[in-house]
Structure 1
């Protein structure tokens, strides 16, 4: 089996021949969300938020908020014309480099509903607003979901992806930013609309949520997510793999907060972590290996790293099922 065929077997609940390695499995479509959501190298996004580039990635300019009362969001938030975002042009640049016969096409969609509100008013104001003015928050999430759906439809029209990975980090390493009840009341209904809009067009939905979010994995599966990424070890990954086999693919498993993810982690330590992931998670049959290696320039998957090649070589010695 090639990467695409092996992934399809896993998606269908069958037994793949080998444990997929994220880097080798995916043709990544990144430029569409760069234009629509988050400029990867810094600058002003279509909503007027200025992003500052760091070696770890880009962040909204600190302490520069668009508003501090969520009830005022309509005064400040102006949704851009989808035609003005250059998504079609982005696809024309990226698509010629894709190998659809061997790999899957995975288009990223950054800055989800909760994340976007935080870019406008900061995390503290956003979290307080969920409690103090839930109606205005829900109204914002519903409106912003419309924007995301429009972007996703354009992504599908021009990229024809197999997967859309939607980013919304709503958890810390210790648990959700909000209670499961608040998530289900205020955010989940709009998440559900986003997921249904994608899956109704025959595209696989992948939910990117870092941190300990195991309390709402059942919600993700119920809404139609088929992939959860990047599963971090603060969650019961083995239990989730067992419980949702045939319904959910778990992508990640890397100890992204431990020494193996420090900038000075040795090649030997990196290889050992890959072997642990293969042994501990890979044999379940619904797991994709995704290493999170940081170096002085940033995330190695995006900027390169001398440790990736020996990691891949070692991985292929242990990736058989």
Structure 2
């Protein structure tokens, strides 16, 4: 089977020949160390990875060598691996009234996605990356203000979530027209300590909009993987009942356990994860990485519906030798015809 066929089989609830793998992000320095390339498509081909995930291209206006205004009018500055936000465009309802969303139909933002489809689309799964409903209020208001406004200005946050749904469904529709069949929505709603808000507040304020977004994606004919770091256990049933097709990354640092989730939901939910990228892929030995992979495969593979990956991404601090060994071990242990279950 091709990588594309493997990942499609997973979402069709069929068992592929081999457990598939892909990452949301692979740091260029890691790619360079392993395969002497910083081109993500080339890296996927060289290492026979089953898929690639692509975000829309950014539309930025430079302020200086370090900072810029992004397409959502957030002022950001480059720092380490990801740009950090410095200033936010919405501080009041009047700010929001005059705020204009970027154009989701601007074909320039799909150039990298189209390139990946052209290079990889026949053999590899190309997965689109979109926002769902939490990251836009976070970005327009700022993280702390956003969380406070869920309490003191709930109508303001609700309006932004509606705007996010409209924008992201336009993006999803455009991706579907390009041939994309699977998208990942990557808005973190938790960390290892727990949800960013109480579970009841999430269920009341956020979940209805999230369900609306998932329904819209399904009406477009798309499968949806929901990504969030952290401990999602208090709202796990709600996320599953929203209609998501897959869940990622089953964060081991957030007390998330693939074995128990697999037991509860069976193969009705695609699970993606969860090789520890906080410690084992960063500073663990190859033996520790291999042990983690075998455990993850044993817990996730039975009856299919499983994609193995890191517990977030292959980030800057990941030891390239450990990621290379991870890919080797997946090939070595991930074939279904070698299993008895």
Same-fold status (TM-score > 0.5): yes
Equivalences, count: 304
Distance (whole Å) between structure 2 residues aligned to residue 20 and residue 88 of structure 1: 25
Aligned with 2:261 (options 240, 252, 257): 240
Please report how far the alpha carbon of residue 208 of structure 1 lies from its aligned counterpart in structure 2 after TM superposition.
1.2
Q: What TM-score, normalized by structure 1, do the two folds share? A: 0.83
Q: Is the 8 A contact 1:292 1:299 kept in 2?
A: no
Structure 1 17/215 Cα, relative in aligned 2: closer, same or farther at 3 Å? Answer: farther
Q: Is the 8 A contact 1:108 1:166 kept in 2?
A: yes
Counterpart of 1:4 in structure 2 is 4
Question: What secondary structure, in the 3-state scheme, does the structure 2 residue paired with 1:283 have?
Answer: coil
Distance (whole Å) between structure 2 residues aligned to residue 27 and residue 50 of structure 1: 28
Counterpart of 2:156 in structure 1 is 136
Structure 1 84/202 Cα, relative in aligned 2: closer, same or farther at 3 Å? Answer: closer
Structure 1 90/56 Cα, relative in aligned 2: closer, same or farther at 3 Å? Answer: closer
Question: What secondary structure, in the 3-state scheme, does the structure 2 residue paired with 1:86 have?
Answer: helix
Please report how far the alpha carbon of residue 150 of structure 1 lies from its aligned counterpart in structure 2 after TM superposition.
1.4
Q: Is the 8 A contact 2:231 2:251 kept in 1?
A: yes
- Structure 2 segments unaligned to the other structure (5+ residues): 24-48, 61-65, 337-341
Counterpart of 1:269 in structure 2 is 288
Distance (whole Å) between structure 1 residues aligned to residue 102 and residue 202 of structure 2: 27
Question: What secondary structure, in the 3-state scheme, does the structure 2 residue paired with 1:118 have?
Answer: helix
* Mapped pair 1:47 → 2:65: no
Counterpart of 1:123 in structure 2 is 143
Distance (whole Å) between structure 2 residues aligned to residue 35 and residue 157 of structure 1: 21
Please report how far the alpha carbon of residue 215 of structure 1 lies from its aligned counterpart in structure 2 after TM superposition.
2.5
Structure 1 42/3 Cα, relative in aligned 2: closer, same or farther at 3 Å? Answer: farther
Question: What secondary structure, in the 3-state scheme, does the structure 1 residue paired with 2:192 have?
Answer: coil
- Structure 1 segments unaligned to the other structure (5+ residues): none
Q: What TM-score, normalized by structure 2, do the two folds share? A: 0.79
For 1:27-38, list aligned pairs within 5 A: 27-30=52-55, 32=56, 34-35=58-59
Structure 1 runs (4+) greater than 4 angstroms displaced: 292-295
Cα displacement string for residues 241-272 of structure 1 (whole angstroms, at most 9, x for unaligned residues): 12222321110122233x2143x444343333
- RMSD of aligned alpha carbons: 2.8
Counterpart of 1:217 in structure 2 is 236
Q: Is the 8 A contact 1:230 1:253 kept in 2?
A: yes
